[in-house]
Amino acid sequence: MELLSGADMIARFLQDEGIEYIYGYPGGSVLHIYDALFRQDKVKHILVRHEQAAAHMADGYARATGKAGTVLVTSGPGATNTITGIATAFTDSIPMVVLCGQVPSTLVGEDAFQETDMMGVSRPVVKHNLTVRHPSEIPEILKKAYYLAQTGRPGPVVVDIPKDMTTPNERYEYVYPKSVKLRSYNPVLRGHAGQIKKAVDMLLAAKRPILYAGGGVILGKASDKLTELARLLDYPVTNTLMGLGGYPATDRQHLGMLGMHGSYEANMAMHHADLIVSIGARFDDRVTNAIEKFCPGARIVHIDIDPASISKTVEVDVPIVGPVDSVLSEMLVLIKESKLSIDKDALAAWWKSIEEWKQFHGGRYESCDEHIKPQKVIEALYKVTKGDAFVTSDVGQHQMFAAQYYKFDKPNRWINSGGLGTMGFGFPAAMGVKLNFPDHDVVCVTGEGSIQMNIQELSTCKQYDLPVKVLILNNGTLGMVKQWQDMNYESRHAQSYMKSLPDFTKLVEAYGHVGLEVDKLEDLESTLEKAFSMKDKLVFINVHVDPHEHVYPMQVARGSMNDMWLSKTERT
Amino acid sequence: MRRIISVLLENEPGALSRVVGLFSQRNYNIETLTVAATEDPTLSRMTVTTSGSDKIIEQITKQLNKLIEVVKLVDLTEGTHIERELMLIKVKAAGSQRSEVKRTVEIFRGQIVDVTSSVYTVQLAGNSGKLDAFIQAIGDTCILEVVRSGVSGIARGEKILSL
């Protein structure tokens, strides 16, 4: 029997759980835990410069690997600083465990120094939160936290640890719990066979089908199954912003992203489909546009692990609750066994329409001699990184351009805050990815607005030698805000222009990194080549792009899916 | 439509706040809420009365089920059920009012559980409609204080909500 203090139990548990890196920031309430971490060398701690970045680092790691990232912060401000990071992970169903210090249990409720009710503060943005009431509970509570975070519909779990639970001289028995069971939590492991059969019959009978695949395909590791299904049937696939990479983007059957800034062909195909099979997607408002006008001729099959996602916004005809991987596998078996066959003529006619839509728009954008087009920058990035980089982004126009013009052929490579839309996410997320994939190209595509929301992490990158690449589409404005102001507020640019931007090159040099500037299109590719050839350097590439560019297509507000602006002057 | 949702949840600190938080966070309506431990001290039984379209009610039950501490739940209004609410009500009872109030209490099968020279405290149990009717019968001018427990409910017949 091994006796350990609460603090040592935490360090030991993290080792036993196979956690290699944790991201955090010390403070009074977690000093016992930091001391325990200091006395071992298996779990490595990354000291960020702001706790929000710790959560985003853990999140980036989780999105790239599918495993929960781990955060350790102190009570009060340390804990509350992680809230945006936790909410970001929650909205996109990302597994994460956040260990928060708390004031000693004897002081809880007395407004002690650095006391915040983290259980209450975090409650609406976590999958679950747990508080430690006795040191001996620590192994089981931590096991529960990782189990909850990583199973079912994943999400962040907060563990609140009062300081007196980690007192060094109070030791209790430690046994690593290999598994944990909760009577009130039983994630579904298989879809309903009858519903799956019904869905397969509908799939085979469809004349104008489309597979609408979301982030659940990536979280549920079902990209291969989705690809197999689509290819077997020769049906078109569209991805949500969260689902990019879940189906190879360079494949003929891929119609690109759908929704507000989705491709013309994806939105047209959705609107005209007679069958939509939603796979791990949630009919988000940025996808559907006006619900009452959503895809009027379509019957809908919805596969999702979370029953609450089904018929939440759009009423569906055949709900299937289950892990997408297992449901798609069962569908494949049934399709292969089925005596029914698809309507080849109808499908050929459907593909003909889709090809015409592809030809009609094809992701075109106006060229310009005076400025570098932001789309061009992403195309160059795609070329230089051979389409194989991990790309993180912040939020705004650059995010949409990256989603539209970087063709992700693999899952887990596109890492962005899709649901919450958190500016400041991309850079620390890239750091979390790079730390765990040191041999891969990792690039954060960002804007001059977003990058300044977590720019202090340049210092963390120096300390731990994290040679990520940061690519700024610098248009000198909060581009997406400006675009909306151009379109809806007669170009009154209220607070969307940032005066006195820093000299980014000097700034990154001050932190010990390399800064490059691009003003001319002819220098773009060579500069990117140069940046990515510096494997062991963080390179910050500041590209001055067209300040007037808008992201298109753009769905017309309160319209149907196929109601789009295609340029500043053309509307469907 | 009004619904009565019965929930078995882990009897743990914070579980109630998650339920209440869920309702406010998602803009659902709580009309009444009662909660107490069951014969199994690790479980609490909660009864929530709420109202909304079928779509909203479906979301409420799904979202409640998603809470980790919720073990099981049932929408009692989907079947036959018994609902009861307890009311303690203080009413003016002086002079000629005394016998009038007493008669009304008897009609509603309530009990006078405390008496002073000018006040009766009445206890009344029944479904919420009955309690509303009593309040109406007594009249605003007589009422000094009203305490209602909120609805508790149970399914009729052999159907049970347990582990």
The ipTM estimated for the assembled molecules is 0.93
Do the beta carbons of residue A285 and residue A392 sit within 8 Å? no
Is A120–B17 a contact, with Cβ atoms under 8 angstroms apart? yes
Q: Are residues B103 and B126 in the same domain?
A: yes
* Structure token pair of residue A542: 């500041």
Q: Which residue has better confidence, A422 or A499? A: A422
pLDDT for res A49: 98
3-class secondary-structure state, position A370: coil
Do the beta carbons of residue A393 and residue A404 sit within 8 Å? no
Pairing of strands A318-321, A390-393: unpaired
Shortest alpha-carbon distance between residue B67 and chain A (Å): 8
Mean pLDDT, chain B, rounded, equals: 96
Q: Are residues B54 and B115 in the same domain?
A: no
Helical residues (DSSP H) of B33-151, grouped into ranges: 54-66, 97-107, 128-138
Q: Are residues B26 and B69 in the same domain?
A: yes
3-class secondary-structure state, position A473: strand
Q: Are residues B6 and B72 in the same domain?
A: yes
Mean pLDDT of A466-483: 97
Q: Does B160 touch chain A (CB under 8 A)?
A: no
| Window 115-144 of B, Cβ < 8 Å to A | none
Quick check: is B6 in a domain? yes
- Burial annotation A418-454 (CB, 10 A radius, 16+ → b, else e): bbbbbbbbbbbbbbbbbbbeeeebbbbbbbbbbbbbb
Q: Are residues B99 and B151 in the same domain?
A: yes
Quick check: is B50 in a domain? yes
Does A114 participate in catalysis according to the annotation? yes
**A interface residues, B as partner, C-beta within 8 Å:** 119-120, 123-124, 127-129, 131, 148, 182-185, 306-308, 311-312, 315
Is A308–B62 a contact, with Cβ atoms under 8 angstroms apart? yes
List of domains in chain A: 3-173 (3.40.50.970), 193-360 (3.40.50.1220), 374-551 (3.40.50.970)
Compute CA distances A267 → A211, A310, A356, A555, A571, whole Å: 12, 21, 13, 9, 14
Number of residues that this document lists for chain B:
163
Does A2 participate in catalysis according to the annotation? no
Residue with tokens 């959560």: A55
Quick check: is B161 in a domain? no
Q: Where are the beta strands (DSSP E) in A346-396?
A: 390-393
pLDDT for res A450: 97
Helix A344-360 crosses helix A264-272 at what angle (to 10 degrees)? Answer: 140
- Residue A113 predicted with pLDDT over 80: yes
Residues of B in contact with A186 (CB under 8 A): none
DSSP H or E stretch at residue A258: none
- Residue B58 predicted with pLDDT over 90: yes
| Other beta carbons less than 10 A from residue A496's beta carbon | 18
Q: What confidence category does residue A330 fall into, taking pLDDT thresholds of 50, 70 and 90?
A: very high
- Residue A274 predicted with pLDDT over 80: yes
Helical residues (DSSP H) of A437-534, grouped into ranges: 458-464, 479-488, 504-510, 521-533
Q: Does B41 touch chain A (CB under 8 A)?
A: no
pTM for the model: 0.96
Q: What confidence category does residue A363 fall into, taking pLDDT thresholds of 50, 70 and 90?
A: confident
Q: What confidence category does residue A391 fall into, taking pLDDT thresholds of 50, 70 and 90?
A: very high
Q: Which residue has better confidence, A497 or A167? A: A167
- Burial annotation A531-560 (CB, 10 A radius, 16+ → b, else e): bbeeeeebbbbbbbbbeebbbbbbbbeeeb
- Burial annotation A124-155 (CB, 10 A radius, 16+ → b, else e): ebbbbbbbbeebbbbbebbbbbbbbbbbbbbb
Question: Which residues is A541 bridged to in the sheet?
Answer: A471, A516
**Percent of chain B having pLDDT more than 70?**
100
Quick check: is B138 in a domain? yes
Number of domains in chain B: 2
Last residue of a domain, one of B51, B79, B107: B79
Nearest to A308 among B55, B59, B68 (CB): B59
Nearest to A123 among B13, B17, B55 (CB): B17
Is B55–A127 a contact, with Cβ atoms under 8 angstroms apart? no
Q: What whole-number distance in Å separates Cα of residue A11 and Cα of residue A41?
A: 10
Compute CA distances A491 → A375, B11, B151, whole Å: 22, 56, 55
pLDDT for res B93: 94
3-class secondary-structure state, position A238: strand
Q: What confidence category does residue A499 fall into, taking pLDDT thresholds of 50, 70 and 90?
A: confident
Q: What residue of A is the nearest CA neighbor of B7?
A: A184
- Residue A87 predicted with pLDDT over 90: yes
Q: What confidence category does residue B136 fall into, taking pLDDT thresholds of 50, 70 and 90?
A: very high
- Residue A498 predicted with pLDDT over 80: no
Is A184–B69 a contact, with Cβ atoms under 8 angstroms apart? yes
pLDDT for res A1: 78
Quick check: is B70 in a domain? yes
Residues 6+ apart with CB under 8 A from A330: A190, A191, A193, A196
* Structure token pair of residue A126: 């976590």
Q: Write out pLDDT tens, residues B1-52.
A: 899 999 999 999 899 999 999 999 999 999 999 999 999 999 999 999 999 9
Q: Are residues B70 and B115 in the same domain?
A: no
Last residue of a domain, one of B79, B100, B125: B79
Domain interval for residue B59:
2-79
Is B68–A183 a contact, with Cβ atoms under 8 angstroms apart? no
Residues of A in contact with B55 (CB under 8 A): 311, 315
* Structure token pair of residue A228: 């197999």
Q: What confidence category does residue A455 fall into, taking pLDDT thresholds of 50, 70 and 90?
A: very high
Q: Which residue has better confidence, A370 or A346? A: A346
Residues of B in contact with A128 (CB under 8 A): 68
Is A308–B69 a contact, with Cβ atoms under 8 angstroms apart? no
Residue with tokens 């650059």: A398
Quick check: is B25 in a domain? yes
Mean pLDDT of A233-259: 98
Residues 6+ apart with CB under 8 A from A554: A260, A261, A487, A564, A565
Is A308–B55 a contact, with Cβ atoms under 8 angstroms apart? no
Q: Does B17 touch chain A (CB under 8 A)?
A: yes
Q: Are residues B58 and B20 in the same domain?
A: yes
DSSP class of residue A569 equals: S
* Structure token pair of residue A382: 């795609």
Q: Are residues B86 and B151 in the same domain?
A: yes
Q: Roughly how many angstroms between the first and final C-alpha of chain B, as a whole number?
A: 28
Instruction: For residue B92, give the CATH number of its domain.
Output: 3.30.70.1150
Nearest to A119 among B14, B25, B71 (CB): B14
Do the beta carbons of residue A266 and residue A242 sit within 8 Å? no
pLDDT for res A500: 87
Residues of A in contact with B71 (CB under 8 A): 183-184
Last residue of a domain, one of B79, B97, B129: B79
Q: Are residues B121 and B134 in the same domain?
A: yes
Mutate to test the interface with A, among B9, B28, B53, B66 (most CBs of A within 10 A): B66
Instruction: For residue B65, give the CATH number of its domain.
Output: 3.30.70.260
Q: Does B32 touch chain A (CB under 8 A)?
A: no
Q: Are residues B109 and B140 in the same domain?
A: yes
DSSP H or E stretch at residue A301: strand A299-304
Q: What confidence category does residue A368 fall into, taking pLDDT thresholds of 50, 70 and 90?
A: confident
Is A123–B68 a contact, with Cβ atoms under 8 angstroms apart? no
Q: Are residues B131 and B62 in the same domain?
A: no
Shortest alpha-carbon distance between residue A400 and chain B (Å): 29
Residues of B in contact with A183 (CB under 8 A): 71, 163
Quick check: is B44 in a domain? yes
Is B68–A119 a contact, with Cβ atoms under 8 angstroms apart? no
DSSP class of residue A307 equals: G
* Structure token pair of residue A61: 């790691």
Q: Are residues B87 and B148 in the same domain?
A: yes
* Structure token pair of residue B66: 């998603």
Nearest to A124 among B21, B68, B70 (CB): B21
A-B CB pairs within 8 A amount to: 37
Phi, psi of B126 (to 5 degrees): 160, -170
Compute CA distances A561 → A286, A295, A350, whole Å: 10, 7, 18
Quick check: is B160 in a domain? no
Residues of B in contact with A311 (CB under 8 A): 55, 58
Does A480 participate in catalysis according to the annotation? yes
Residues of B in contact with A184 (CB under 8 A): 9-10, 68-71
**Which amino acid is residue A76, in one-letter code?**
G
Q: What confidence category does residue A362 fall into, taking pLDDT thresholds of 50, 70 and 90?
A: confident
pLDDT for res A231: 97
Q: What confidence category does residue A380 fall into, taking pLDDT thresholds of 50, 70 and 90?
A: very high
